[in-house]
Amino acid sequence: MSSVVYREVHIKSALNAVKGMPFDWSLNPWSGCAHKCVYCFARAYHARYREKNVGTDFDSNVEVRVNIADVLRKELRRHREGSLAIGTATDPYQPIEGKYRLTRRCLEALVDHPMPTGIVTKGPLVVRDIDVLKRLDEKTDLTVYFSVPCVDEEIVRKTDPGTAPPRQRLRALRMLRDAGLDAAVLCMPVLPGISDGEESLDAAARAASEAGATAFRHRPLKIDTEIQQYYTDFLAAEFPVLVPRYAALYGGGAHPRKDYERQLEERVRRVRARYEFRERAPRAPRMRESETVQLQLAM
Ligand code: SF4
């Protein structure tokens, strides 16, 4: 596997406004991702908006946004409405976070200026930040989503070559749950012919449930135009018999046929019903800061 080059950059803005998603803002401490997942949709964005290639420009040349936490802190003083997703186009806990601690410093800024936050990661390093996650969780809604599309390690070595094995991700999830945090599994993307069988989905759901995940959600693979050739090359190298099947299923588009999506939905519904995913109990409504101050003044 090629080594990764890291380049420090200074950014002018940290929060990106998002439309049409269940969150209002996104935050990505890095550009590019050393986890190198072959199906990563962020590869396509990298090509579309940054005119980079979808291969090594994305997964072997990572930009380190060294001033992101300071910029975020300034922005949070102005933008406090809406919810935030961390890690929509990169993994906030890829290994280099161990050195730079950018994600941790962003979380510390959020503790001081809280907004409802979701974090998406495949990085067990997230357990390092349980202390700051707990402080944030005391102030706002926080969920850590572990991306675990498949638990078969042989497949994962091919599809997610730079990531920690799924069992390590789930061990991290267990540690977060033991700390009282909300942590769920995203079984995404489900790869047709590779990880979409009932057995594969069942193994992922069972492992997620045993780790204490509060939810198990799935989504089939989307193949944006920019990554079609890249993904097809991967299939041709690792799963050549699937190349014609994908051609029939996607027909050159980004989404699989609707009947496939319905069948997958049904399969996941059956699997999910076999295991327990207990949503965390709603907590007592938190007092607004102004109410807390008034209460303190009254005492
Ligand atoms: S961890 Fe996430 S952002 Fe990183 S390559 Fe994999 S899918 Fe893309």
* Residue whose CA lies nearest to ligand 1 atom number 7: 40
Measure 44 CA to ligand 1 centroid, in angstroms: 12
Q: Residue 31 has which token pair?
A: 């550009």
Going by C-alpha positions, the residue among 135, 138, 216 that lies closest to residue 170 is: 216
How many A from CA of 47 to the centre of ligand 1?
Answer: 15
Q: Can you give the pLDDT at residue 260?
A: 98
Phi, psi of 206 (to 5 degrees): -65, -45
Give Cα 147 distance to the centre of its chain: 6
How much distance in Å is there from the Cα of 16 to the middle of ligand 1? 18
The reported pLDDT for the residue numbered 290 is 45
Residue 290: C-alpha distances to residues 81, 253, 274, 296 (Å)? 16, 51, 45, 10
Domains of the chain: 5-278 (3.80.30.30)
Per-residue pLDDT tens digits for 26-82: 999 999 999 999 999 999 988 888 778 889 989 999 999 999 999 999 999 986 789
Whether the pLDDT of residue 268 is over 60: the answer is yes
Orientation angle between helical segments 166-178 and 198-211, nearest 10 degrees: 30
> Quick one: which of 193, 260, 185, 189 has its CA closest to 224?
189
Tell me how crowded residue 276 is: count the other CB atoms within 10 A of its CB: 10
Cβ–Cβ < 8 Å for 80, 110:
no
Choose the residue to mutate in 43, 90, 97, 157 for probing ligand 1, maximizing ligand atoms within 8 Å of C-beta. Answer: 90
Q: Which atom of ligand 1 is nearest to the CA of 41?
A: 8
Q: How far is the CA of 36 from the centre of ligand 1 (A)?
A: 6
Query: What's the pTM?
Result: 0.93
